[in-house]
């Protein structure tokens, strides 16, 4: 089945992270098993989502893993010109939610398995489709735990996030956190007798911004990234109930996206000291004043050598003289850290189109990925 047709089918599944992905997983499993692949489903605890893993060719170590996520970001509040879950082909592009991020790669990967089913593989071809990547590479972790129990050790994992088919050997790690600020309620007419939790939160934000400015000025830099240093970002704040009440609760969700040369634990420890100092200044008014910082999620960065054997293997299939790095996170770092698998990021399309209304991938990029997959399958048929 052509990758264009497969992509149109994949887009039709509204696999927003808040919803189930089982219809897409069932479709992919049926397709792969018809190709003769050995398929395994790894459901989540609730049973409403699942990862899919499948292998074709000889059993045992070696081969290549093609990995991608099934979930997409929401479309609410975006001005789409057509139904985001009905693919539209126009002017050399395919429009639809997930076209670039990253169902285009999944379509090409499924087509590659169908092609490989008609070939004489000397090394296995693996495919992994995960859930809940968009909310912090959450779903793939149960699949990785399952794979730890096997002899699954491919020579390379290719995570097909959109890179315009360039080989990316690195991305930043991420630590997501919450900060809960506890104050002391009072009537706003007597505001100084209370502790304003929103004020605690904004004081913390000011410290976070000061830390960010310091990192940008004097911290480690890596010119391979569009933003060449570790970043601190506050994405959500909530607090207060009424204008005439000094709020006793406020919460922040924030993150650290860090270079591999930086230590997020050391940075977090410094921020926790900042939070303690802010809270301590208010304890002369209320003993309960405080700021509690808790982790929400994290995933490691990726750092794969350009001259590693696995990368050289891929470079023979993709004409590229120098590596690149991507600023967004992926599952590649987890495959590398948890399974010891060399990993890279390489897929069709551009993240410039991802997460936006009228998301699209060009037919040129799909065809380029198909051509790469053709060369990969041929290479897996070469005697080891």
Catalytic residue positions, numbered: 71, 133
Instruction: Give Cβ neighbours of residue 140 (< 8 Å, ≥ 6 apart).
Output: 51, 67, 69, 128, 130, 131, 133, 331, 334
How far, in Å, CA of 145 to CA of 373, rounded?
27
Please check whether residue 289 is in contact with residue 282, taking contact to mean a CB–CB distance below 8 angstroms.
Answer: yes
End-to-end alpha-carbon separation of the chain, Å?
29
Helix (H) or strand (E) holding 33: helix 22-34
Please check whether residue 56 is in contact with residue 62, taking contact to mean a CB–CB distance below 8 angstroms.
Answer: no
Q: How far is CA 347 from the centre of its chain?
A: 14
Q: Determine how many CB atoms are found less than 10 A away from the CB of residue 352.
A: 10
- Residue 190 DSSP label: G
- Rg of the chain over CA atoms, in angstroms? 23
Please compute, for residue 205, the number of CA atoms within 13 A of its CA located in the half-sphere on the CB side.
17
Residue whose structure tokens are 């002017």: 91
How far, in Å, CA of 33 to CA of 41, rounded?
12
């Amino acid at each position: 089945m052509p990758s264009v047709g497969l992509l149109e089918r994949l887009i039709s599944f509204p696999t927003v992270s808040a919803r189930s992905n089982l219809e897409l997983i069932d479709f992919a499993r049926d397709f792969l098993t018809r190709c003769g692949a050995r398929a395994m489903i790894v459901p989540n605890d609730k049973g409403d989502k699942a990862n899919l893993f499948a292998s074709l060719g000889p059993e045992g170590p070696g081969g290549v893993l093609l990995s991608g996520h099934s979930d997409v970001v929401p479309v609410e509040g975006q001005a789409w010109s057509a139904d985001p879950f009905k693919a539209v082909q126009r002017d050399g592009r395919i429009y639809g939610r997930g076209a670039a991020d990253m169902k285009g790669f999944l379509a090409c990967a499924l087509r590659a398995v169908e092609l490989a089913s008609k070939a004489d593989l000397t090394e296995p071809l693996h495919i992994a489709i995960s859930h809940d990547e968009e909310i912090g590479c959450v779903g793939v972790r149960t699949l990785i735990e399952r794979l730890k129990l096997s002899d699954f050790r491919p020579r390379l994992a290719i995570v097909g996030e959109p890179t315009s088919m360039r080989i990316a050997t690195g991305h930043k790690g991420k630590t997501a956190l919450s900060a809960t600020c506890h104050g002391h309620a009072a009537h706003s007419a007597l505001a100084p007798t209370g502790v304003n939790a929103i004020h605690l939160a904004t004081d913390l934000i000011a410290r976070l911004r000061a830390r960010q400015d310091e990192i940008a000025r004097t911290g480690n830099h890596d010119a391979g990234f569009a933003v060449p240093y570790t970043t601190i970002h506050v994405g959500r704040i909530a607090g207060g109930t009424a204008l005439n009440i000094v709020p006793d609760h406020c919460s922040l969700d924030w993150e650290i996206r860090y270079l591999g040369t930086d230590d997020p634990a050391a940075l977090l420890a410094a921020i926790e000291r900042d939070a303690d100092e802010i809270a301590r200044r208010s304890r002369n008014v209320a003993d309960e004043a405080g700021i509690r910082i808790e982790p929400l999620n994290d995933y490691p960065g990726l750092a794969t050598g350009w001259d590693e054997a696995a990368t050289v293997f891929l470079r023979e299939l993709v004409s590229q003289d120098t590596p690149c790095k991507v600023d967004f996170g992926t599952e590649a770092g987890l495959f590398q850290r948890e399974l010891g698998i060399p990993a890279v990021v390489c897929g069709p399309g551009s993240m410039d189109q991802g997460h936006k209304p009228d998301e699209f991938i060009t037919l040129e990029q799909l065809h380029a990925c198909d051509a790469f997959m053709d060369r990969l399958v041929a290479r897996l048929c070469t005697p080891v």
